[in-house]
Amino acid sequence: MTDPCTKLMESQVKTEMEAAMKYLAMGAHFARDTINRPGFSKFFFESASEEREHAIKIIEYLLMRGQLTNDVSKLLKYPLTTNNTNPIRQEWNSGEEALTDALKLEAQLVDYLTTDFLEEQYKGQRDLAGKISVLGKMMQAHGPLGEFLFDKKLLSGEI
């Protein structure tokens, strides 16, 4: 592998960890007792685990190829800020807003690799877009109760 390729993959590890941190923040937000949306919380915590797994796969690939040029611990040290040193968002006004943010996050990551990750990213985008659509319809039909009902369906795995 060429040095620029290695550096891009190392950069992608940071991007995947950033995505995991954002999803953790979303999960924590919806787990708060004042929000109490355990379905949303569960969904975003699971998404954080998936992004973390992406980072692990890339690190394992770099190690297998003998291409990890930086200290691995430098790749994994990550404060609650983005690459621009902006704080990671900690609150959302609704489940729909958080799902929309998550869709933007997945869309940014889709350009990464055209192997295992591409199909998974497209499935993630499609899943999030579907969830946004269903939530919007439920909220139109039931008002704020729609988000509560959607949350229960997320928790039970129906959505």
16 marked among binding-site residues? yes
Smallest CA-to-CA distance from 12 within 121, 102, 100 is with 121
Q: How far is CA 52 from the centre of its chain?
A: 9
Q: Is 106 annotated as a binding residue?
A: yes
Q: Determine whether the annotation assigns residue 54 to a binding site.
A: yes
DSSP secondary structure letters along 14-74: HHHHHHHHHHHHHHHHHHSTTT--HHHHHHHHHHHHHHHHHHHHHHHHHHHTT---S-HHH
The verdict on whether residue 119 carries a ligand-binding annotation is: no
Does residue 108 have a known ligand-binding role? no
Binding residues: 16, 51, 54, 106, 121
Binding residues for Fe cation: 16, 51, 54, 106, 121
